[in-house]
Amino acid sequence: MTDLVAKTSIDQRLAALTRPVIEGMGYELVRLRLMGGNTPTLQIMAEKPEGGIEVDDLAAINTAVGAVLDVEDPITENYTLEVSSPGIDRPLTRLKDFDTWDGYVAKIETEELIDGRKRFKGVLQGTEGDEVLIEIEDQGEPVTIGLTFDLLADAKLVLTDELITEALRARKHAG
């Protein structure tokens, strides 16, 4: 099965080290990317199982993950550890994310051409088995298609007024 949480082999190795720490603290790993540059950055996105996360939670994850990485030392050069929330226009990396965000606009990119295209934008319609359902426009008409999760290369929510309203409502509800 494709892994949108950690795509590359080094990302998957780092996720294998960090996921148990993050989950042991009661959070979920949403995405992990080691990005190059003069000083590489290890970007980790995490959230509570019910969604959302606080700054203090992120700081605690940073400390715990940093300690494990210091001991295991999987990145030989100096790097920056960045732990954040997925944000409003979040990446969709797990099959369950497509059910959670059912009804919201998303952009999805596939590894292979599907009906002559790799990029799809539309309203998420949840999942069915291992397929992500998305309503797209086809010659001006709405049509729901299924994209096999294993064929996805990238997926994220699109920032819309509805998404902002939901984020504000959730923040207010969280107190």
CATH number of the CATH domain containing 102: 2.30.30.180
What range does the domain containing 37 cover? Answer: 9-84
Residue of 48, 31, 38 lying closest to 157 (CA atoms): 31
Tell me if 157 is assigned to some domain: yes
Looking at residue 151, its pLDDT comes to 95
pLDDT given for residue 2 in this prediction:
58
Residues with Cβ within 8 Å of 10's Cβ and at least 6 positions away in sequence, in order, are 34, 74
> Domain check: are 36 and 72 in the same one?
yes
- Does a structural domain hold residue 90? no
Residue 125 lies in a domain: yes
Residue 1 belongs to some domain of the structure: no
Judge if 14 and 70 occupy the same domain.
Answer: yes
The count of structural domains within the chain is 2
pLDDT tens per residue, the chain (175 residues)? 557 999 999 999 999 999 999 999 999 999 999 998 889 999 999 999 988 899 999 999 999 999 999 999 899 899 999 999 999 999 999 999 999 999 999 999 999 999 899 999 999 999 999 999 999 998 899 999 999 999 999 999 999 999 998 888 877 776 5
Which pLDDT score is estimated for 131? 96
What is the structure's pLDDT at 83? 98
Decide if 103 is inside a domain: yes
- pTM (two decimals): 0.89
Residue 78 sits in the same domain as residue 113: no
Count other Cβ atoms within 10 Å, centred on residue 95. 16
89 within domain boundaries: no
How many angstroms separate the Cα of 35 from the Cα of each of 32, 41, 45? 10, 5, 14
What integer pLDDT is reported at residue 175 of this predicted model? 57
Q: Which helix (H) or strand (E) holds 166?
A: helix 161-174
pLDDT in tens, 73-122: 899 899 999 999 999 999 999 999 999 999 999 999 999 999 899 999 99
